[in-house]
Amino acid sequence: MSDFERVAALDEIPENGRLSVVVDDIPVLLVRTGEKFYAIEDVCSHDGQPLSDGPIENGQITCMRHGAKFDLATGAAKRMPATTGIRVFAVELRGTDIYCRESDGAVQPAELQTTATALPTADSGCCGGHNHAATTTTCDQHAPASDVPSAPRSLDEKMLEALRQVIDPELMVNIVDLGLIYSINYDGAKAYVDMTLTSPMCPAGPQLVQQSKMALERLREVDEAVIKIVMTPPWSPDRMTDEARDQLGIF
């Protein structure tokens, strides 16, 4: 079984929200219901459509196209026309990050711990008895992990990161590394993206447009995303990143 890999930050998925990510090159939907987190394969086993925008009720997600239902914890098909289940993924919450890995059976949801921990007081002491309240020093155990704050990401970076969660279902490579994104602009809370397809008749075009729109609109800074398909200049393999070439075995 593969190791856990980081897929998102906690603040990227609000309460009762969802987020499309990739685990071992598999499109995965992270689902948060209250303080519980699930991860399922983001593909309906009936017709291959993404489950990203399906309603969730009673621990089940419904495919918007034909009404198939799947259990969030087991992946089992719960309603026709689906007869085959989908893969589920174990979720771990580590600090402010979310980690996932594929599971070979039913999983327990990861749960956000909200119980407050009492802080040491001047009378109680800690770490062998010295009191932080009475001194200006802190022990190694309670010192900040780093005194250097991380640089804030620009909106361009956040949008590209969001679009990297959109996977071409035929090549199984994200659309950014494939070189499908031509330009990103924004006006206030409205984002505009020019993207292309690997071919004018690409059957996955509508799916990629919808998933790109949803990925961007999950960002707090984006209220609406407008995706425009352009075919000039035409796409070629030269636009792919080295990572995409390695993944597809192109040298």
Find out whether 91 and 100 touch, Cβ atoms under 8 Å: yes
- Cα Dmax for the chain: 72
232-247 core/surface letters (b: 16 or more CB in 10 A; e: else): eeebeeebbeeebeeb
Asked if pLDDT for residue 150 goes beyond 80, the answer is: no
Q: Could you count the other beta carbons within 10 Å of the beta carbon of residue 79?
A: 13
Q: State how far the Cα of 203 lies from the Cα of 211, in Å rounded to an integer.
A: 14
Three-state DSSP state, 62: strand
Q: What is the pLDDT of residue 153?
A: 61
Helix 205-217 with 155-163: angle, nearest 10 deg? 140
Domains and CATH numbers, the chain: 5-111 (2.102.10.10), 155-248 (3.30.300.130)
Is residue 30 scored above 50 in pLDDT? yes
pLDDT of residue 117: 39
The pLDDT of residue 1: 57
Query: Strand (E) positions, 147-196?
Result: 181-187, 190-195
Work out the mean pLDDT of the chain and round it to a whole number.
Answer: 81
3-state DSSP assignment of residue 167:
strand
Ramachandran assignment for 144, one of left (phi > 0), alpha (psi -120 to 50 degrees), beta (any other): beta
Q: What is the mean pLDDT of residues 142-161?
A: 62
- Consecutive H or E run containing 70: strand 69-71
- % pLDDT > 90, the chain: 26
Mean pLDDT value of segment 36-58: 89
Residue (of 236, 156, 248, 172) closest to 204 by Cα position: 172
The length of the chain in residues reads 251
User: Residue 146: its pLDDT value, please?
Assistant: 46
If you average pLDDT over residues 9-17, what whole number do you get?
89
Neighbours of 111 (CB within 10 A): 12
DSSP 136: S
